[in-house]
Amino acid sequence: MNKKLLIYGIVGVLFFTCSCGYKFSNQGHLSENVTKVFLEIFENKSFEAGAENFFTSALINELIKNTNIEIVKQENAEAIIKGSIRAITIDALSRESDDSVIERNVSAVVDF
């Protein structure tokens, strides 16, 4: 799969999940007194090369933008966040012709 398609797909997923106000599940909440975390680069178990960088950067941006959490070096952290991308699926939703896809659905399974 070409790299440009992957970039557009991941940006699209992040755009829609961010605009929908996703949040950590009940079991994934950080303690209220944790203000400094170290975020490891995601482990990429999918077949999409480079996805770990996009997902890690997106999570860092979300934590900085929407929380009071500071991203710090591991030795200064009160908690460590680890993640793993298990799968990324990209499906064509609509086509203009046999060679031209207009809309894509991108799904990702990510563990924290």
**What string of DSSP letters covers 17-86?**
HHHTT----GGGPPPTT--EEEEPPPEE-SSSTTHHHHHHHHHHHHHHHHSS-EE--GGG-SEEE--EEE
- Confidence band, pLDDT 50/70/90 cuts, at residue 90: confident
Average pLDDT score over residue span 28-33 = 68
Model confidence band, residue 40 (pLDDT cutoffs 50, 70, 90): very high
Give the separation between CA 16 and CA 8, rounded to whole angstroms. 12
Position 112 pLDDT exceeds 60: yes
Whether 82 shows a pLDDT value over 70: the answer reads yes
Give residue limits of the domains in the chain. Answer: 3-12+32-111
pLDDT value of position 17: 54
CB contact at 8 A, 105 and 90:
yes
| pTM exceeding 0.75 | no
With 60 as the cut, is the pLDDT of residue 67 above it?
yes
Copy the structure tokens of residue 16. Answer: 């829609």
